[in-house]
Structure 1
């Protein structure tokens, strides 16, 4: 099979298209003929040498999410059969013509979703679910601030919060992207800036928000903490603005705040299986009903993986960049 490999750490030019043996599924595994691959920032960080693949994943083949058709199953598999349309997440290896994963990690692709849309769903929406609900405890009626709302995870989080009956508030550097999020359920848009506009937030959430989904972090992390109501929770999911931050401990202590974190890629198998079960129960019905919409910005041929990385690094996209076979 063909696969894209990282030959050394560096720019998009270090990606190399090579032939690799087609993997064979183990006892509980399913082999998927990959039709589309979602591009994620983690892929770029892995290429640069900043985010190595987790144990058990191919160290040099990136790719965290995919969609395709089942073409082989292991002897203990009961859930799937060849020809089924599926999508899923993996620790790595999706930049290939085939990938093997545990049967419990896969999700059925609802009717009406094409391959690029299906490949754009798992990573963003499962991360949003875990961050907002499993870790953050978001409930109907809660106000939540999504920092970096126009990112892939942010777009998913806005839709999910709205579908759950919460009140999503979004911040982004781009007012134009915030305007586009209105149609996806964004209740309030904070003026575009690197930080949180405190006066604008106070106008829509005078007492603060119950939850901040933090996708930005960096030097203005303390502004996210300031946005929380007493006993509020901040869930750290991304570090787009940097890995160092000022932490005002007195505010955390006196307002009884919680700071929690979550990463999808490093979850052990048991965690990924649990998350897939939750997705089947809660997310797929919303997806099938059209209440959640994978947003695709660009679809490129599988042969153009380096160009996909360049486009993601350049920014300016709204929604997923996808490689299609």
Structure 2
């Protein structure tokens, strides 16, 4: 068996999309509860862009190769692997890094059996986005049926997942924001949102408050950051939860903010990342997804919206497409 494999690396460790290239690196070996998976497809995520640019320090166990989610075939197993998996099984899962490669080592505790009715591309687009959405809603946002929720960047992978979860699990209203009319229409007409608001409109928060009859929103999932911080405080209901999981508009506030709203409304504003969590935390989310969401994928009630599939030799183009901010769904790369 070859001791090397092909993987996507970054010239100079950080750089633009053009810095990505495919090279040969040592093939990893599974230990303990791990599996070695031959990758058939992997997902592109905003965190990959930030890490490539040097703006997202990866956890130590991630390694230098990008990639957080994948789908593929188990090739070998460590001596203490979960007994529900065997060599040759088709599976998908979440990793701290390394999915942009022909092979990836992953804990079997984080693997999920691939449903027969889902493609490699669809399965590769589930782990990062759906686990993040589950964390935002339940672990941090404290969602219960009857609460309202707003998902910023409504056409992103995480928010598409979260919108479906919220509707299926009894939200009283599900709102979204986006930067274009087309994306707002997608959120309402395709995904089923109650309403969507265009954040390029300076009055978007006033419109959102009007739609809620002045009550505001119970949970806000924020993938944008500084550009919507003041708006979030305005549209938050009393005792609302705002969960910051993305910084698409940068790292620093550029406008004055009425901090009194934060206190008087008793808003809890909390930042959260999934990648920095230990395996025990991630495993609980995975188990929740397998129990509650996977049957809905198998029944066709939940859907992975794949915007475009690239052969992995075109990973530079895939990253540029992500950076265009025009997508409505997941970007997937396949390895043949």
TM range (shorter): over 0.9
Q: How does 1:152-301 map to 2 (within 5 A)?
A: 152-166=157-171, 167-181=173-187, 182-193=189-200, 197-206=204-213, 207-245=215-253, 247-301=257-311
Superposition deviation, residue 192 in structure 1: 4.9
Can you list the C-alpha shifts for 1:56-110, whole angstroms capped at 9, x where unaligned?
A: 1112x10111011111111111121112121111111000011111111111222
Looking at structure 2, the residues matched to 81 and 153 of structure 1 have their Cα atoms a distance apart, in angstroms, of: 30
CA deviation after TM superposition for structure 1 residue 203, in Å: 3.3
CA distance in 2, matches of 1:258, 1:196: 23
3-state secondary structure, aligned to 1:141: coil
Residues in 2 aligned to 1:18 and 1:210: alpha-carbon distance in whole angstroms: 48
SS of alignment partner, residue 278 of structure 1: helix
Do the aligned residues in 1 keep the contact of 2:155 with 2:327 (CA within 8 Å)?
no
Residues 191, 200 of structure 1: 8 Å contact kept: no
1:87-98 alignment, distance < 5 Å: 87-98=92-103
**Alpha carbons 1:172, 1:194 under 8 Å: kept:** no
Q: In structure 1, how many angstroms separate the alpha carbons of the residues matched to 2:35 and 2:290? A: 17
CA RMSD of aligned residues (A): 1.5
3-state SS in 1 of match to 2:92: strand
Distance 2:36 2:112 in 1: 13
Displacement of 1:289 in angstroms is 2.2
Preserved contact between residue 221 and residue 245 of structure 2 (Cα < 8 Å): yes
1:69 and 2:73 matched: yes
* 2:323 paired residue number: 313
Among 6, 16, 23, the alignment partner of 1:18 is 23
Secondary structure at the counterpart of residue 190 of structure 1: strand
Moved more, 110-119 or 189-198: 189-198
Secondary structure, counterpart of 1:189 in structure 2: strand
Consecutive unaligned residues in structure 2, runs of 5 or more: none
Could you list the runs of 4 or more consecutive aligned residues of structure 1 that deviate by over 4 angstroms after TM superposition? none
Q: Distance in 2 between matches of 1:153 and 1:38?
A: 12
Q: Which moved more, 1:8-17 or 1:110-119?
A: 8-17
Q: Does structure 2 conserve the Cα–Cα contact (< 8 Å) formed by 1:126 and 1:275? A: yes
Instruction: Specify the SS of the correspondent of 2:302.
Output: coil
Q: Which runs of 5+ in 1 are unaligned?
A: none
CA distance in 2, matches of 1:30, 1:302: 22
Aligned length: 324
For normalisation by structure 2, the TM-score amounts to: 0.92
Inter-CA distance 116–137: structure 2 relative to 1 (3 Å threshold):
same
Q: Secondary structure at the match of 1:44?
A: helix
Closer/same/farther in 2, CA of residues 35 and 104 from structure 1, 3 Å limit: same
